[in-house]
A and B are shown apart, each in its own frame.
Chain A
């Protein structure tokens, strides 16, 4: 009985997700046509968005691994930074594959420090993370100066001229989708632009990233290993009484977390750009954390968050993006209004009114200006996350023992 209810609820959720996703695509397309900002969904823009989304996704997945085992990993930023250096160093000397592995290992070392501090010594997770970020930035600055200064193509704070992973274009699909996208038809062109963007000059590392997202979802939710790992994040004492080696699982989770963040760093130095600079992450570790919270500690949610934030990030990197950002404002207003109606029907009057007021504000802003400074896209991920955690905090559920200290034998 309960089985069927759960099943039908899962089905309803899935249908709702599909309907919402379709509605979102239609809305984006409509906004594009109304505003005339065709560059909102060209293959080029969407490719840029995908490239911007991948490092955020990797950081977000890294955060997911750690937090599902009950360890808050604010140190993602530092681990990512270590990854940027590792990728550049190993790729320069031993090729792009070594670069990817090296970045993962550097991130893993950062994860190991975090794991020793938080798991073995029970240090506050936030403190350890903050310290790790300080160490990460210092270490990358120091290592760059020590190892890159004398290389050709290098400097005290940067390096270029190392091999990057190969890219591939899927011949038939890419061209066909591209010509459809150029028609600027309603919905059809937007979808084919996404297809074209995702099949043209696709980096191996992008494919690896998406594969890791699938792997994470499978490993954490479809295997007994994942069930045990998540039980350490929900109730470590109960897990201990069932014979789970909680320390081991927490260590594994944090190490994987660090490696993922390191790969995110590799993506930044090898795909998003072809050169390394100190401080290249520019807060993307934190955006990854934001995408994880936005995604309610679930892989599909992290993916959605990363794509959304990646789109905002990608747009802010495009040249002459003033009109695009302006068009996005209308999009945001429409979404907010829809959300307000949804809240109103759910009976949450106060929230509905607050959201509606914000939406109207965005509309007024849209109609009284012709361009919006691109600085505002840069902070979109943070504003959206702040908005989501403030408005939808009841719907968010983090692992029950997330961030709580745990000591072996505390189950009694």
Chain B
């Protein structure tokens, strides 16, 4: 009971705190707090509801990509760059129509995974061969990915409006969405990727030898090394795995509605960082990540309605950022409290047994 409270309380407290802090910011800048709260907590209309589902899938995939790294003790801040590379490669491949019809979907997804994995491997290999921190190299690689993809699209893409983009995905390769709510837009077909990734993540970590090795290495690299796990190989493989999942992040949107890639108009940037936040919020657990993704998607979805109240919708970015900060602080406080409670319990037990007390006196 206490354990459940310990694990559920921090995220709830964090969300409440973040909303309160956002209200303070709105109040200071002269906005209406009441309008903000009533809009955020209003029942979303059908169109927004579909958007929330769609966006949740992207955020969840990104969250799982980050979580693979976290469980391994790696901070894959490069999810952002990896999904740009994955999306760019996939859109070039998918748009070329080399593989006909629905088979193109499968082939394109493979390309996205491989591109993301290959790009993530750079950071992994540099870490094990040159001792370069994966955080630093990934930050550099994120920007290189953004610039390179922009250049490639401009050089080899086609003119789309005022900017450039890749060739459109052939209509024969565009999957039909799920028309769940009549009148609203479709839920993207490839939101199922998020479900598949969630299942795969759970199975890999909880049910395979590789997952066990990965968690062990994350918990203690030296213990893993001592028990015969090839830590260096694990770093490269798990980095590639994280990057492979990252490559898929934008695919539901690509196949579902955008059908082409071009920065910034025909792309959604920032999902990588949001995914890190979602993974942190969900403590790298499957239900946690899904809930975190839904929460972030819900806030973003409702934020569009805020414009009506004269409140800039970017205010939910503040909420999201504070949620992350607040939740890690809350977890840290809980951890400190738990370890203090354990220490006290041990010393109480020691005091209760006379032998131990005598030993203590003898010293």
Contacts and interface: CB of A to CB of B under 8 A. Distances in A.
A binds B: yes
A134 B277 contact: yes
A139 B273 CA distance: 16
A261 B321 CA distance: 19
A24 B212 CA distance: 52
A276 B150 CA distance: 24
A166 interface: no
B319 to A, nearest CB: 8
A293 B131 contact: no
Contacts of A362: none
A386 B317 contact: no
A286 B143 contact: yes
Contacts of A117: 325, 328-329
Q: How large is the interface on B (under 10, 10 to 19, 20 to 34, 35 or more residues)?
A: 35 or more
A106 to B, nearest CB: 13
B328 A142 contact: no
B321 A134 contact: yes
B77 interface: yes
B44 interface: no
A141 B130 contact: no
A188 B169 CA distance: 57
A223 interface: no
A37 interface: no
A389 B312 contact: no
Interface string B289-308: 00000000000000000000
A130 interface: yes
B325 A389 contact: no
A373 B324 CA distance: 39
Interface string A118-134: 00011110111011111
Nearest to B329: A121
A130 B29 contact: no
Q: What secondary structure prevails in chain B residues at the interface with A? A: helix
Given A134-B273, A142-B312, A389 B136 contact: yes
A289 B136 CA distance: 9
Nearest to B319: A138
Contact of A128 (B137, B139, B273, B325): B325
Given A117-B329, A389-B137, A130 B147 contact: no
Nearest to B323: A131
A135 interface: yes
B29 A147 contact: yes
A212 B132 CA distance: 30
B210 to A, nearest CB: 26
Given A134-B273, A138-B317, A139-B25, A290 B140 contact: yes
Contacts of B192: none
A273 interface: no
Contacts of A147: 29
Contacts of B130: 389-391, 393
A133 B321 CA distance: 8
Interface in B119-147: 126, 130-132, 135-137, 139-141, 143-144, 147
Contacts of A334: none
A131 B29 contact: no
A133 B141 CA distance: 18
Contacts of B324: 127, 130-131, 134
Interface in A76-108: none
Contacts of A386: 126, 137, 140-141, 144
Contact of A141 (B126, B274, B312): B312
Contact of A283 (B136, B143, B328): B143
A65 B273 CA distance: 25
B137 A130 contact: no
A163 interface: no
Most chain B CB neighbours (cut-off 10 Å) among A113, A156, A386, A389: A386
B46 interface: no
B83 to A, nearest CB: 16
A82 B314 CA distance: 14
Nearest to A127: B328
Interface in A277-304: 283, 286, 289-290, 293
A74 B151 CA distance: 27
Contacts of A136: 321
A382 interface: yes
A143 interface: yes
B316 interface: yes
B205 interface: no
A120 B321 CA distance: 19
25 contacts: A117-B329, A123-B325, A124-B328, A126-B75, A130-B277, A130-B324, A131-B325, A134-B274, A134-B320, A135-B321, A135-B325, A136-B321, A138-B315, A138-B316, A138-B317, A139-B317, A142-B312, A142-B318, A145-B314, A290-B139, A379-B144, A379-B148, A382-B147, A385-B140, A391-B130
Interface of A: 74, 113, 117, 121-124, 126-128, 130-147, 156, 283, 286, 289-290, 293, 373, 375-376, 378-379, 382-383, 385-386, 389-391, 393
Interface of B: 25, 29-31, 75, 77, 126, 130-132, 135-137, 139-141, 143-144, 147-148, 150-151, 154-155, 273-274, 276-277, 280, 311-312, 314-322, 324-325, 328-329, 332-333
The 7 closest A-B pairs by CB, nearest first: A138-B317, A141-B314, A145-B312, A135-B321, A134-B321, A375-B151, A379-B147
Given A117-B329, A132-B325, A133-B273, 15 more contacts: A113-B325, A121-B329, A126-B77, A128-B328, A130-B276, A135-B318, A135-B321, A138-B320, A142-B314, A142-B317, A146-B30, A289-B139, A382-B143, A389-B137, A390-B137
